[in-house]
Amino acid sequence: MHTPLSRLGAWFFALALALTACAPASSLSKGSGSSVPEEPPAAGGPGQSIEALPVVSPEPEPEPQPQPVLTQKDVDEALARVMERYKAAGVTVAAVEKGQLSQAGAWGWAVKNEREMTPDTKIRIASISKVVIAMCAVAMAEDGVLDLDAPISTYWGAGAVNPYSKGQPTARTFMTHTSSIKNLDTTRGLSKLRGILQSKSSWRSMEPGNGGYWSYSNFGMCVLGTTLELAYDGLLDDYLQKRFLEPIGARASFCGGRLEEDEVATLYTTGGGGRSAADHAAQRIPSKIGDTASYFPGGYTTSAVDMAKLVAVLANDGVYKEPVYGYAQVRDMENGTELAVAEPLPGKFKETRLLTEESVSELETPQFTVRLEGYAPFEQCLILRRQEDVMDQEVLYYHTGSAYGVFSLMTYNPVTKNGVVVITTGASRNMNEHGMYALCYDLMEILYEKMEEQPV
């Protein structure tokens, strides 16, 4: 009985050995007769086709943004230094650094012997008003409201044409002072303006857009601003408030009646007289399209600070930057109480895009060069002007303003994103070789130099 069983066991043992010998080498661990599976080979070994895993590097720390270096002391000292050489009733100034509002200051009186000038005092800024109209024009083009290159007859009606030219005036040609309209007296009223545009005697014999016939035109701004109103089907000042001023927290207007007497400056001439703050604040507020027309060439009333906010938008390629604040706890040493003090967080900003980069570029693109006798030539852009190698800056965009004893200047450098606004009342009309008012120029030159100094 036992012998057959022993033979059967031997047979199974032999079969097991045979099967083991035929098994794949990988089913056994190296150098042993154990049946424990071998560990998988390392990735990338011979005969392997395994994708390499990506190497994850830590995110690099963002480079800190350059911070403003101008101090209040710098502005105050610059004002004191310049006013040793000039006379004025009042001066106000505000700076833009690295594309954001920086320091501001003031000197003299808003109302003589009654109210001091401040950086927030509202002043009728004269022809710098045209820059505000230009910003509204390109914004409306962005919004699909206005076509900069459509004949103005698109908005005024078929009769608003130059009978002496093949091409017809457009918003763009009005923005380069080459519309072919004569520089008539400023006026307002939609029907009156339409009648002027329909009259042959209102036009020059020239092709619109021809820089060789450049002629600075205040009346052209009456037409341009009203064209924007017709396109918008509403008041330009209302559009301005919603599109620009409310988002940046600016208080300004083409209509002096929208401001209070105690925030507006009296406009003084060198002879002493001028337009009083009371008269300006009592200005009628228009309610119909065309009734604001005579305010467009130079009636924009703002402060240096609020105008600098708009300059910051241009300098920063259409974006308004404002600091983000945090709160630090400080102890009042007199009574020991804890106080929360707001401090700007370094490198942290709230950014609001108000214009596209393309719109700002359109405003800044030179159209032709203007050469006026006795002054340096400048490149005419869309309202803005451009000069190189001025105030020790590689390039500056700018505009001047003068009316009722006000002399004003706004400038900015698109490379450094620095800029300055200066508004004066009661100063002399002293224009330098660059076609800029000397008091404003000299003050700006000092501030640009300060802004380019390296922080200690």
Res 1: pLDDT: 41
Last-in-domain residue among 337, 353, 369: 353
pLDDT in tens, 27-42: 333 333 333 344 444 4
| Alpha helix positions (H), 254-344 | 277-281, 304-315
Q: What is the pLDDT of residue 57?
A: 59
Element (H, E) at 108: strand 100-111
| 56 falls within a domain | no
For residues 363 and 366, what is the distance between their CA atoms, to the nearest angstrom? 8
Phi, psi of 245 (to 5 degrees): -70, -45
Stronger pLDDT, 335 or 416, i.e. the higher one: 416
Supply the CATH number for residue 109's domain: 3.40.710.10
Asked if residue 64 belongs to a domain, the reply is no
Cβ atoms 450, 70 nearer than 8 A: yes
Residue partners of 179: CB distance under 8 A and separation at least 6: 169, 170, 173, 208, 217, 220, 223
**284 within domain boundaries:** yes
Among 63-72, 111-120, 316-325, 348-357, the minimum mean pLDDT is found in 63-72
Residue 174: inside a domain: yes
253 and 301 in contact (C-beta within 8 Å)? yes
| Mean pLDDT, rounded, for 118-146 | 98
Reply yes or no on whether the pLDDT at 434 is more than 90: yes
For residue range 245-298, list pLDDT tens digits in order: 999 999 999 999 999 999 999 999 998 777 999 999 999 999 999 999 999 999
* Contact yes or no for 431/437 (Cβ under 8 A): yes
Residues 324 and 387 both lie in one domain:
no
Cβ neighbours for 431, distance < 8 A, ≥ 6 positions apart: 375, 437, 438
d(CA 86, CA 437): 11
Task: Indicate whether 208 and 142 sit together in one domain.
Answer: yes
State whether 215 and 128 are in the same domain.
yes
The pLDDT assigned to 61 comes to 58
On whether both 239 and 370 belong to a single domain, the answer is yes
Residue 337 lies in a domain: yes
Nearest to 386 by CA among 354, 413, 419, 425: 413
Q: How far apart are CA 235 and CA 311, in angstroms?
A: 23
Percent of the chain whose pLDDT exceeds 70: 85
Distance, in Å, from the CA atom of 274 to the CA atom of 239, rounded to the nearest integer, reads 30
Q: Do 171 and 256 belong to one domain? A: yes
Give the mean model confidence (pLDDT) for residues 77-105: 97
Residues 424 and 338 in one domain: no
> In 74-210, where do the E strands start and end?
90-97, 100-111, 115-116, 123-124
Structure tokens at 207: 């092709």
Residue 377 belongs to domain spanning: 72-318+354-451
Same domain, 421 and 346: no
In a domain, 4, yes or no: no
Number of folded domains in the chain?
2
Task: Check whether 444 has a pLDDT greater than 90.
Answer: yes
Instruction: Identify whether residues 106 and 236 lie together within a single domain.
Output: yes
The answer to whether residues 397 and 386 touch, using CB atoms and an 8 Å cutoff, is yes
pLDDT tens digits, 47-69: 444 455 555 556 665 555 667 89
Co-location of 300 and 330 in the same domain? no
**40 is a domain residue:** no
User: In this structure, are 331 and 205 located in the same domain?
Assistant: no
| Rounded mean pLDDT, 336-360 | 87
Residues 444 and 386 in one domain: yes
378 lies in the same domain as 229: yes
